[in-house]
Structure 1
Amino acid sequence: MMTQAASNLAPYSSALNCVKDIIKTEGLTAFLAGLPPRAAYISPLWGAQFLLNEKFTRLMSEWNRKHERGGGGSSGITTIKGITRGPSPGPGRSSWVKHKGTVWTVGVPVGRESDANIKRQTALTLKTIDERLKQAGTDKSRIIEATVFLTNMKEFVGFNQVWKEWLPEGVGASRATVGVAKLANDDKVEIKVTVAA
């Protein structure tokens, strides 16, 4: 039909008219005449496309995980939509969170002895905070705010002594101390801090 205009043949009235003429003059097999050579060169192209598509999709997925999530991997640190989260100490929690130049974390007396007093538990809690802040790329010298949870307010003096020794000279925090009935693992102290990154 496309080349008809350049010939002296009578034009087809429609595509159906063209099909009927081909069947009449050449038979049904005329429609399959180009199939073997076409399959010979298209099949490898389709195979290559499917193979490369799979590899390209996997490569892009790995690149996205690496760059969009800040590296991730065994460190457990992830970044999504500008929020970086430290390794998870448990379901639904992050050891620290960083966003727009601020880090939030909570310290607990990790590895404490069952009979550890308030001073020992406070020291371990502050050690946990130091470790988490270091991982987040900051430190206690940039502390902004702290909320302290104590199960016994009569132990405030012991806690406060360790706290003051922990902070560098000239560094202070906007701090609140709250008495609570109970903390996880029967800890005596838990401290939540906000720190500039």
Structure 2
Amino acid sequence: MACADIDMDIHGVDEEPQRPDRREQPVVQHYQATELVPEDKGPLHDLMQKQPAVLGSLQMVSGFLSVGVGILFAITQEMTQSLFTLFRVSHLTGALFFIAGIVSSLLLKYPALLPLSYGVNCGCIAVAGVAACLISVDLAHWNPENESHLRMEVMALCVLGLEVFLSAILCFWFSKEKRTKSS
């Protein structure tokens, strides 16, 4: 096996390389940064600090809950008994909010989905407005014999309110991000 005694230190211009037999210490020069380079922020960095994936997960869970309430209504009520059941309001809103939650959660990995997520969340708010009107009409014309269905429909209206609140927050954040991105 070969071995070599080579001086690997960085020396000044006017200084000769140190030889193994010399006893004096050489002046070692090395690079030291004088200014820190700022970190490169990724796309949608400010938006990701707010963690829209958490709200997207909440949207998915509330969408599942809405679909479950809709299935329960479809099983226990006749089709013509309420507008809520007739138009499958809970199924539609639950599916839309589940899709909106998935798209909002995928923003971290795929930032190009921002316009799609904004559009889906705005669409969910519009559909939820129509659904709230249908539920309100049902509650105004409610038959007092079905007390349990009344409570479930009020719960569905509350879940719908939660879903609209989550989508409104996400739409606000997304529109703010789109404005800063376009500037």
Normalising by structure 1, what TM-score? 0.26
Higher strand fraction (1 or 2): 1
Task: Specify the structure having the higher radius of gyration (Cα).
Answer: 1
Which structure is higher in RCO with an 8 Å CA cutoff and minimum separation 6? 2
